[in-house]
Amino acid sequence: MQIGQTIPNIQLSSIHNSSFNTDELKGRRYLVTFFRFATCPFCNMRIAQLINKQPKMGENFEIVAIFESNIDHLKKHASKHTSKFPILADPERQYYKQFGVKKSFLGMLKGMIFRLPTALSGILKGYIPMEISSRFLIMPLSLLIDEKGIIQAIYHGKDEGDHMPIEQVIEFSHQTL
């Protein structure tokens, strides 16, 4: 994916017992974020941050969170969050591949070392990384999409806890075409 491209339609199962389709967001700005797996402490701390900051983004802005987990496992762990935004399951990595979500062993190590306080905070809140697999190597990817479905910003995390700055998301949420 590149800035200036139209985002392809994303259709996945949501933890809210429904199917979600990005076509529902036409005419609105939104953030799409790819996370690692349902019990990832970094991912769950970011979800909590997005929930906390969502009121600052306005009512016409949406957040779409995608995890490489099966829907039942994701429901079990993500239901701890009281999100109003869709949390989606992509267990087959269909959209991870399409959007070019990166994997990095070095990024995983950097995150574990330099973001240890965040990981420990997440673990203390019950987000214990129990899924030992190649999912540990997934690096976050965030995209900001405008009202016309055009990608306006792309942020590839450099380590497992590196997400698009929340200030950038809030600023984008208030812009108009």
Task: Check whether 133 has a pLDDT greater than 60.
Answer: no
The secondary element (H helix, E strand) that includes residue 49 is helix 41-53
State how far the Cα of 123 lies from the Cα of 44, in Å rounded to an integer.
10
State how far the Cα of 95 lies from the Cα of 143, in Å rounded to an integer.
13
Q: For residue 70, what pLDDT is reported?
A: 86
Percent of the chain's residues with pLDDT above 90: 45
Q: For residue 54, what pLDDT is reported?
A: 92
Q: For residue 17, what pLDDT is reported?
A: 73
Task: Check whether 39 has a pLDDT greater than 90.
Answer: no
Predicted TM-score (pTM) of the model is 0.86
Q: For residue 7, what pLDDT is reported?
A: 94
Maximum alpha-carbon separation in the chain = 43
* 150 DSSP 8-state letter: B
Strand order in the sheet with 18-21: 18-21, 11-14, 87-89, 61-67, 29-34, 141-145, 151-156
Cβ density class 25-63: b for 16+ within 10 Å, e for less: beebbbbbbbbbbbbbbbbbbbbbebeeebeebeeebbb
Count other Cβ atoms within 10 Å, centred on residue 77. Answer: 23
Q: For residue 137, what pLDDT is reported?
A: 81
Give the model's confidence band at 140: pLDDT under 50 very low, under 70 low, under 90 confident, else very high.
very high
Over the stretch 109-128, which tens digit does the pLDDT of each residue have? Answer: 777 777 677 777 777 776 66
Give the model's confidence band at 12: pLDDT under 50 very low, under 70 low, under 90 confident, else very high.
very high
Task: Check whether 60 has a pLDDT greater than 80.
Answer: yes
User: Residues near 75 by Cβ (< 8 Å), separated by ≥ 6?
Assistant: 15
Q: For residue 118, what pLDDT is reported?
A: 76
Residue 47 or residue 138, greater confidence: 47
